[in-house]
Amino acid sequence: MKQSIKTVLAGLALAGALFTAGTATAQDIQSRNFKVAFVQNNDHPHGIGVKKFGELLEQKSGGKMKARGFGGGQLGGDAQVISSLQGGVLDMTLVSPGLLTGLVKEFSVFDLPFFFNDYREVDAVMDGPVGTRLLERLPEKGLIGLGYWDHGFRNLSTAKTPINRMEDIAGLKVRVIQIPIFIDTFAALGANPVPLPFPELYTALETGTVDGQENPFASIETSKFYEVQKFAATTGHVYNPLVAIFSKRVWDKLSEEERRIVQEAATEAGLYERQVSREANQKSMQTLRDAGMQITELPASEIDRMREKVKPVTDKYVQSIGPELVQEMQAQVQKVRDGK
């Protein structure tokens, strides 16, 4: 993983240097200050990735183009920020694919429960034809897809009881992302799903409005959910990439050279953030344990039981997404599993 990322970064840097030396002029790059909104805290891998994006942007533009991150939901929840991008009020954000399904329903393909086993399978799909085609659908919706960063495999935490088996989920009030497939998945597992914006989650956990929530371990750590959650389990029920999106209204005002710089910076920062995020999620398990959380590592047999339980949900969304797209994604995943 690390070697391939370094190789890609080196290639991008060389290509960028040659392109700039051959074609860029001072007039091609104007002074730009982009606002990048995201709901996680600034010390989360998302924030670290945004900081890297800003550094690369400034470096590649000779100091003319800058990006400032606004973490912690300062500029609103995900849905509000996406609307602001479409209106040209904000410039860039990072969102889970499910939050784009109201615009492009096929993005639900990334939220099919228990679909991926590991990061190799994930990257093959994100960086392959399926991932590319989905990004190409965004301009007609007022957005530019700059690529896929990383959020991670989502895991369940709760204040009430350890999650040692599927039946322990029954009756729990679990905060979920505000999209139907998450609501349906947790309802199928026996929980009472409660859709809430992420900035409202800590308070909802603290006051007992919800019993638990589901997020990658790095988010549980940086958002300090361990202060109000005692138990967690490695359900890994959904892998969330992170879609880096840019306002088309703003994009259309940029020169070709400025667009190239933004895209290149986003690609390099995304590869960097993937590595940071995946390492952070692994380390966060121990950090959370040190903070007093009890984390149950569920066996594959229990995950298989959950996968079977939510199969009606999977079948339902495969039909709405499009069976052909899902089959293409399954074929790509199978190639990875077969070592091809």
Longest dimension (CA), the chain: 63
Structure tokens given for 270: 């995304």
pLDDT of 6 strictly over 70: no
Beta strand 173-176 pairing with 192-195: parallel
Residue that has been written with the tokens 């589901």 in this structure: 214
Model pLDDT, residue 27: 67
> Looking at the chain, which residues constitute the CATH 3.40.190.170 domain(s)?
2-151+241-280, 155-238+283-337
What is the distance between the alpha carbons of residues 280 and 290, in angstroms, rounded to a whole number? 15
What is the distance between the alpha carbons of residues 310 and 242, in angstroms, rounded to a whole number? 24
Architecture of domain 155-238+283-337: 3-Layer(aba) Sandwich (3.40)
The edge-to-edge listing of strands for the beta sheet with 239-247 is 65-70, 32-37, 92-95, 239-247, 143-153
What is the distance between the alpha carbons of residues 123 and 149, in angstroms, rounded to a whole number? 10
Burial of 226 (0-12, 13-18, 19+ CB in 10 A): buried
Q: Which of 124, 149, 159, 156 is nearest to 44 (CA)?
A: 149
Model pLDDT, residue 25: 54
Is the full-model pTM beyond 0.85?
Answer: no
Asked whether 187 and 280 are in contact (CB, 8 A), the reply is: no
pLDDT in tens, 50-65: 999 999 999 999 999 9
Q: Which of 293, 244, 288, 219 is nearest to 95 (CA)?
A: 244
Mean pLDDT, residues 154-176 taken together: 96
CATH superfamily assigned to domain 2-151+241-280: Bacterial extracellular solute-binding protein, family 7 (3.40.190.170)
Structure tokens given for 280: 């952070």
pLDDT in tens, 306-326: 999 999 999 999 999 999 999
